[in-house]
A and B are shown apart, each in its own frame.
Chain A
């Protein structure tokens, strides 16, 4: 301890204090303040960059969710539209079918009617022709038959006999 006190130099202490305090003040102004400021600014910058990246990521997620929702909605809409279209198509087909059926029925009915008419007409004509033919034949036969008196008489008798039966 005595050696320590003996070694103590006031001059050195004085200069040490002057140099050190001067150094603290100088470095404070020209080094520590700008360095610490730059470091903390950079840290703040990194922090805010990370935060904004996180926010962007969240927004991205939101967007994706939105997109998904929109896609789902669109898909659902498409499905309903398809469904409606299918229903409409079915309805139209059914309607067309029924209409066609009706038309076809009508046509068939008309055809049937005209066939009937044609048939009737044909039958009538045929009857007429048959009648005519029969008349002609009858005429010829009668003319032939009536060439002799006996045969005329016989016919009259026969005919008369038929008339009574009818």
Chain B
């Protein structure tokens, strides 16, 4: 059956899509260059080539940002990318372009209020942008306005959502056109959908009840996978390595698990059947803790795996620059290349594990008593 599923791309179609890709790329590039002219000189001059700079660069990469910077030229102090809207709630809605921050170098003035970027967060300041520190000197004491900015991660998630929608809408439509047989890219997607259904949902949840969870499981699988893969691109995004994103995903798993749980599930938590009464009392708090630990582990696992992957990969790429020798640099490059391939696997694996464990928890919540 899998043999029939090979995608057949006609040569003409391929040419067309390549041309389209190049055109899109050229358009993006010209608009980026225009923006680059506006950018002002940065603080740190020169290329990123010391240990400290590389570490700072990696730390910066791991965080979310208010503009979509593709690359920066340290020497010229220019950043190539595009600004994103900043949305704050500070006694009323404040919306302005992140270009006002000039990559954190200047204070943004909006409606008589002053805001400054400090370590990737927006603080309310005075006109000079003074950041006052607490006694230990780690955390600013300035007010933080409620921040609903469309950040780089939000834009990436929107892009991923759009891509997913187009891909799977295309697959769904191709059934009607092509007599229940997918065509083109759908031939690659359909086995994945069937994989999620037959290998993740049905074995863990059961034939009877898996259907109501399918939308969540399929979406979470492809959403996480696509975001993991986007994290591997030179766009330099790190969405699934952000704790707020994995928290959101894990929270949904938590809510769905507990709101669809049956009597048997709660019975196993608060009054474990088949053990002495004393043990029932001992087990209840442990089991209750488990209810929270399960989604918590989901959150941490995805976050830690993706973050670690990015840190290690970027460190090894950084080593290429650090070594500055004919032996060390190619070796580091080879290592980075091998690791990048491994990370591609991890991208799919983490999406699979997240979906698989979510399905497992849903299955637990729906288990029938079998005594």
Contacts and interface: CB of A to CB of B under 8 A. Distances in A.
Interface stretch (B125-133, B156-164, B322-330): B156-164
Nearest to B189: A35
B252 interface: yes
B215 A24 contact: yes
Nearest to B193: A35
Contact of B64 (A12, A19, A45): A12
Contacts of A36: 193, 197, 214
A23 interface: yes
Interface stretch (B22-30, B238-246, B270-278): B238-246
Interface string A22-51: 111011101111111011011001000000
A50 to B, nearest CB: 14
B353 interface: no
Contacts, number: 121
Given A8-B247, A11-B149, A27-B165, A20 B219 contact: yes
B171 interface: yes
Interface of A is mostly: helix
B216 A12 contact: no
Interface residues of A, number: 34
B148 A7 contact: no
B329 to A, nearest CB: 32
A143 B247 CA distance: 179
Contacts of A21: 252
B356 interface: no
Contact of A8 (B153, B164, B223, B244): B244
Contacts of A38: 172, 175, 180
A13 B168 contact: no
B147 A27 contact: no
Contacts of B165: 23, 26-27, 30-31
Contacts of A45: 180
A17 interface: yes
Nearest to A40: B197
A23 B164 contact: yes
Which of A22, A32, A42, A45 neighbours the largest number of chain B CB atoms within 10 Å of its CB?
A32
Q: Which 10 pairs of residues, A with B, have the shortest CB-CB distance?
A: A31-B168, A38-B175, A28-B215, A34-B172, A16-B248, A13-B244, A12-B244, A11-B147, A15-B154, A23-B161
Interface of A: 4, 6-17, 19-24, 26-28, 30-36, 38-39, 41-42, 45
20 contacts: A8-B243, A9-B64, A10-B244, A11-B147, A11-B149, A12-B245, A15-B148, A19-B157, A22-B161, A24-B216, A27-B219, A31-B168, A32-B214, A32-B218, A32-B219, A35-B172, A35-B193, A38-B175, A41-B180, A45-B180
Given A12-B244, A21-B252, A39-B193, 19 more contacts: A6-B139, A10-B147, A10-B244, A11-B147, A11-B151, A13-B244, A15-B148, A15-B157, A16-B244, A16-B249, A19-B157, A20-B219, A23-B164, A27-B215, A28-B219, A35-B168, A35-B172, A38-B172, A41-B180
